[in-house]
C-alpha cells in the first residue's frame, strides 16, 4: 500500500516524473499541497490499481497525468479542496476501462465501486460491484494484489473470464457444507 503520505508539491502518493509503471497497487489517503493527491505521472502506465480517498489543494485529488496510460484502474472518492476531482489527464494520454467520475476515456464506469468496507480500508470488490468483470485484457498484470490469478469469472452466468477493474480480483468462495 502507498498510504497516508503528505508532500508540499505534486504527487502525494506516487510521482512518476519520467514514466514508469504503477501496477496492482493501492494508493489511499495521500495528500498533495499542489496537485495529484494520489498520483502525478508524466508518461508511464497505471494498470489494475485502486486509487481512492486522496486529496489535493492545488489541482486533481486522484490522478494528474500527461502522456500517461491508465488501464483497469479505480480512481474514485478523491477530492480537491473538498470537491470530488478524481482524474485529469492531458495530451497523448489513454484512459481505458477505468472506474472514475466524471466519465473519461474508453469504456469508463462512473458508478461508484462497491468495496467490502470503504471506511475500514478493505478495497476488495463485492459481488454486484460494477467493477467486477469490467476490465479488458490484463495488460500484463496476471495476478491481483493478493496474488490471486486474473482474470476470473466473477459474475454469475459469465462464460469467459474478464479481469476486474482495480487492484483486487473478486474471488467467489464455494460454500462450506457441514455434514
The count of other CB atoms within 10 Å of the CB of residue 77 is 20
HSE-up of residue 154 (Cα within 13 Å, Cβ side)? 25
Hey, which bits of 43-168 come out as E strands? 45-47, 50-52, 55-56, 63-66, 69-71, 74-76, 79-80, 83-84, 87-89, 94-96, 115-117, 122-125
Structural Rg of the chain based on CA atoms = 16
- Report the alpha-carbon distance of residue 38 to residue 74 in Å, rounded: 12
- pTM reported for the whole predicted model: 0.91
Q: Cα–Cα distance between 99 and 166 in angstroms, integer?
A: 8
- Rounded to whole angstroms, the Cα distance separating 56 from 33 reads 6
Residue-wise pLDDT tens for the chain (179 aa)?
Answer: 999 999 999 999 999 989 999 999 999 999 999 989 999 999 999 999 999 999 999 889 999 999 999 999 999 999 998 777 888 888 788 899 999 998 888 899 999 999 999 999 999 999 999 999 999 887 788 999 999 999 887 777 777 888 999 999 998 764 455 54
The CB density around residue 73, as the number of other CB atoms within 10 Å, is 33
A 10 A CB-CB count for 17 gives 12
In angstroms, the CA 70 to CA 40 distance is: 12
Burial of 179: CB neighbours in 10 Å, binned 0-12, 13-18, 19+: exposed
Beta bridge partners of 7: 32
Amino acid at each position: 500500500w502507498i498510504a497516508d503520505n503528505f508532500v508540499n508539491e505534486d504527487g502525494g502518493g506516487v510521482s512518476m516524473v519520467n514514466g514508469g509503471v504503477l501496477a496492482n497497487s493501492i494508493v489511499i489517503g495521500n495528500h498533495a499541497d499542489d496537485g495529484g493527491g494520489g498520483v502525478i505521472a508524466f508518461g508511464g502506465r497505471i494498470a489494475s490499481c485502486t486509487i481512492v480517498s486522496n486529496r489535493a489543494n492545488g489541482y486533481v485529488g486522484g490522478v494528474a497525468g500527461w502522456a500517461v496510460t491508465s488501464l483497469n484502474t479505480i480512481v474514485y472518492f478523491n477530492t480537491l479542496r473538498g470537491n470530488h476531482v478524481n482524474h485529469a489527464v492531458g495530451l497523448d494520454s489513454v484512459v481505458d476501462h477505468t472506474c472514475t467520475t466524471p466519465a473519461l476515456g474508453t469504456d469508463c464506469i462512473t458508478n461508484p465501486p462497491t468495496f467490502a468496507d470503504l471506511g475500514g480500508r478493505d478495497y476488495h470488490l463485492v459481488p454486484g460491484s460494477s467493477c467486477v468483470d469490467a476490465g479488458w485484457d490484463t495488460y500484463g498484470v496476471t495476478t491481483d494484489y493478493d496474488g490471486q490469478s486474473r482474470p476470473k469469472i466473477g459474475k454469475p452466468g459469465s462464460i469467459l473470464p474478464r479481469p476486474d477493474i482495480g487492484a483486487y480480483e473478486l474471488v467467489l468462495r464455494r460454500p462450506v457444507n457441514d455434514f
